Each structure stands twice: as C-alpha cells, then as structure tokens.
C-alpha cells in the first residue's frame, strides 16, 4: 500500500521494454516518492520485471493484470487500486505494424488501433473522472516521433499514434481546467522487443497482393535505411525512463516531449512549410535518392555517438 506522501503511479505494458524500465526506475527512486502499480496483460510474463525490480518488488512496486483492449480488465484493475486513487497514469502499452498496406488485413490494422488508440482512450475514461473529482492528476502517454511525422511503410502505426496525439491535444485543454496535466513522450527508435517483434514479422511476411516494385522498395530500400537509423539513433529504454521521470517531476510539465534531439529537425520540417511539400519531398529524397549517402551519414553519426570513439578523443 502507498504511504501518505507517496504518489501512486499506474503503468500499462510492463512485461518488457520501456514500460518495464519506467516501472523499475520509479520504484527505485531514492526518496521513495512513488508507489508503482506495474500492469501487464499476462502475469506469466512477470519474471523479467520482478528480477529487474529486485528488493523493491512488494515494497514500492506491485503487479496487477491489465489488458488495455478489454473494458472489463481495465475496470477490474482500477477497482483493485485502493480508493481508485491514481496520481499518475502512464499509458505505455503499444504494438507496431510495418509493411506495405496492400499486404495488411483490415483486422490487423484494427488490432493496432484497438491497442494504441482505444487502449489509451479506455484507460483515460476509467481514470479521469476520479482525477477530476480530486482536481489533480497527471496523464502521460507514450506516443512516438511517428505521432508527429509520418514514416513510409509505417502507415497504420503512424496513423494510430497521430490519432492519439489529436485526442490528447484536444483533451489537454479541458483537463487543465481540472488541474490535470497531460504529457506526450515522443521517442524515436528505441532498442526493445518492439524492434525485435517487427523484424520477426517482416521475416515471415509474404506480401500477398503487393506488386514487385513495392516489395523491392520496402525490402531493399526502406528496411536497410531503417536498420541504419535504429543503429545510429536508437535510444535505450533507460533513456526513455529517465526522460519520463523528468516529465512527471517537473513543476510545469511540457505537453510534448521529444526524447531524441536528433529528430528535432525532422519534425520541424512540417512546421516550416504548411503546404507539406518540404517534408514529403525531403523524405522522398532521403529514402530514394540519398539512401547510400544516408547510410554513410548514419555510420558517421554512430561513430560520433559511440563510446569507443569518445574514449579515444578524451
């Protein structure tokens, strides 16, 4: 149970990656300011989290089952929280989807929206009324740079994050009137199971109904660039957990929080030209005309940021 003075933080999707690391980082806070309710849809997957939590498990960190795609599971989970009192809700659970749209069924697309968009809406609808009554609370949403800027062959995933950005941008104004803060965290690539799962899915892909040129652009042009970008710009779940902790500890938390400054110029393009031409043309050129150049640039970037070179230059 939370001590008085401790903030109750509920986090979705804590079986791996970013959610797991945020849960452990907050539960290990030196000043013990947080009582963390780490949730996951399948408690059989709890071992990694329990191991990472170590001796704070059962003290500042507890576990509850929660599937963000089920109304019943969400209600049951929140009803199991003492007085339904949640100070900080961190909507982290999410799934990726990659590939030419022709080969993706509408069912698969709906699953992504069910998790990434309706999952967040379901959580906010359940937690917000209590926060409104108390005139306090902070809702954090794990968005993505793809919630701000479309990325080729990530069409449906991007759309699900855009939908959430639009929903939250609208909600933030109303919530402010109730002294409830809303913050989006917008990471670029992060090394987690998200990346592994997507690569496994790609390996199994059969591309039904997709023409040969599109398959070639996806496999031989997009995928190598994407792998380069993950290698050169990829952050760790620890980076995102630190950024999230900073956001919830800020006296005036920002609404948008890009975690990777290397992405700032990419996102800025769309605001620099309201016709959209600048971003569409730039991404086209980056991918189809400067692919090899981008590979070299990413390799240089990787070298500049890798610790071995840093050690050599000191």
Ligand X SMILES: CC1=C(/C=C/C(C)=C/C=C/C(C)=C/C=O)C(C)(C)CCC1
Ligand Y SMILES: NC(=O)C1=CN([C@@H]2O[C@H](COP(=O)(O)OP(=O)(O)OC[C@H]3O[C@@H](n4cnc5c(N)ncnc54)[C@H](OP(=O)(O)O)[C@@H]3O)[C@@H](O)[C@H]2O)C=CC1
Where is the binding site for substrate, in residues? 144
Cα–Cα distance, 250 to 185 (Å, whole number): 14
Q: Which of 40, 247, 287, 298 binds ligand X (CB under 6 A)?
A: 287
Q: Among 262, 122, 124, 128, which residue's Cα sits nearest to residue 188?
A: 262
For residue 259, state whether it binds ligand X (rule: CB under 6 A): no
Query: How many other CB atoms are found less than 10 A from the CB of residue 124?
Result: 21
**From 37-45, 53-61, 141-149, 240-248, span contacting ligand X (CB under 6 A):** 141-149
* Beta strand pairing call for 61-65 and 88-91: unpaired
For residue 226, state whether it binds ligand X (rule: CB under 6 A): yes
Cα–Cα distance, 306 to 202 (Å, whole number): 28
Assign 200 to helix, strand or coil: helix
**From 6-14, 110-118, 205-213, 225-233, span contacting ligand X (CB under 6 A):** 225-233
Q: Which of 53, 97, 139, 142 binds ligand Y (CB under 6 A)?
A: 142
**Which lies closer to ligand X via its Cβ, residue 60 or residue 257?**
257
Q: Which of 40, 139, 156, 164 binds ligand Y (CB under 6 A)?
A: 40
For residue 151, state whether it binds ligand X (rule: CB under 6 A): yes
**Is 158 within 8 Å of 150 (Cβ atoms)?**
yes
Q: Write down the least CB distance from residue 256 to ligand X, Å.
A: 15
DSSP symbol at 236: P
**Is 140 within 8 Å of 180 (Cβ atoms)?**
no
Q: Write down the least CB distance from residue 145 to ligand Y, Å.
A: 7
Q: Among 203, 251, 255, 254, which residue's Cα sits nearest to residue 227?
A: 203
**Which lies closer to ligand Y via its Cβ, residue 158 or residue 279?**
158
x/- site string to ligand X, residues 229 to 258, per CB under 6 A?
x-----------------------------
Q: Sign of the CA dihedral 117, 119, 125, 127?
A: negative
**From 46-54, 92-100, 219-227, 245-253, span contacting ligand Y (CB under 6 A):** 92-100
**Which lies closer to ligand X via its Cβ, residue 57 or residue 118?**
118
Catalytic-residue membership of 157: yes
Q: Write down the least CB distance from residue 227 to ligand X, Å.
A: 8
Please pick, among 157, 207, 217, 284, the residue that the annotation labels catalytic: 157
Query: How many other CB atoms are found less than 10 A from the CB of residue 77?
Result: 21
Rg for the chain (alpha carbons), in Å? Answer: 20
Q: Which of 146, 164, 185, 232 binds ligand X (CB under 6 A)?
A: 146
Q: Among 227, 148, 232, 139, which residue's Cα sits nearest to residue 187?
A: 148
DSSP symbol at 216: H
Per DSSP, the residues of 187-199 read ---B-SHHHHHHH
**Which lies closer to ligand X via its Cβ, residue 15 or residue 259?**
259
Enzyme catalytic residues: 157
- Contacts to ligand Y by CB under 6 A: 12-13, 15-19, 40-42, 45, 66-69, 92-95, 115, 119, 142, 144, 187, 189-190, 192-195, 197
- Contacts to ligand X by CB under 6 A: 144-146, 151, 188-189, 222, 225-226, 229, 266, 283, 286-287
């Amino acid at each position: 149970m939370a001590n008085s003075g401790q903030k109750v933080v509920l986090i979705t999707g804590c079986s791996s990656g970013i959610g797991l690391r945020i849960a452990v980082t907050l539960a290990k806070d030196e000043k013990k300011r947080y009582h963390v309710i780490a949730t996951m849809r399948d408690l059989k997957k709890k071992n990694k989290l329990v191991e990472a939590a170590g001796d704070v498990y059962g003290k500042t960190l507890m576990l509850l089952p929660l599937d963000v795609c089920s109304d019943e599971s969400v209600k049951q989970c929140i009803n199991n929280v003492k007085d339904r009192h949640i100070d900080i809700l961190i909507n982290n659970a999410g799934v990726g989807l990659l590939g030419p749209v022709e080969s993706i069924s509408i069912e698969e697309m709906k699953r992504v929206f069910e998790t990434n968009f309706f999952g967040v809406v379901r959580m906010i609808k359940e937690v917000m009324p209590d926060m409104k009554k108390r005139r306090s609370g902070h809702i954090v949403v794990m968005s993505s740079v793809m919630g701000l800027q479309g990325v080729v062959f990530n069409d449906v995933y991007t759309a699900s994050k855009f939908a959430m950005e639009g929903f939250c941008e609208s909600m933030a104004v109303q919530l402010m009137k109730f002294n409830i803060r809303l913050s989006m965290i917008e990471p670029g690539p992060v090394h987690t199971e998200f990346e592994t799962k997507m690569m496994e899915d790609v390996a199994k892909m059969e591309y039904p109904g997709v023409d040969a040129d599109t398959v070639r652009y996806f496999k031989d042009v997009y995928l190598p660039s994407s792998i380069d970008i993950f290698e050169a710009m990829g952050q760790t779940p620890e980076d995102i957990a630190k950024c999230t902790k900073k956001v919830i500890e800020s006296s005036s938390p920002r609404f948008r929080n890009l975690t990777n400054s290397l992405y700032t110029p990419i996102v800025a393009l769309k605001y620099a030209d309201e016709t959209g031409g600048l971003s569409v043309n730039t991404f086209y050129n980056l991918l189809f005309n400067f692919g090899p150049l981008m590979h070299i640039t990413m390799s240089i970037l990787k070298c500049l940021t890798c610790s071995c070179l840093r050690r050599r230059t000191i």
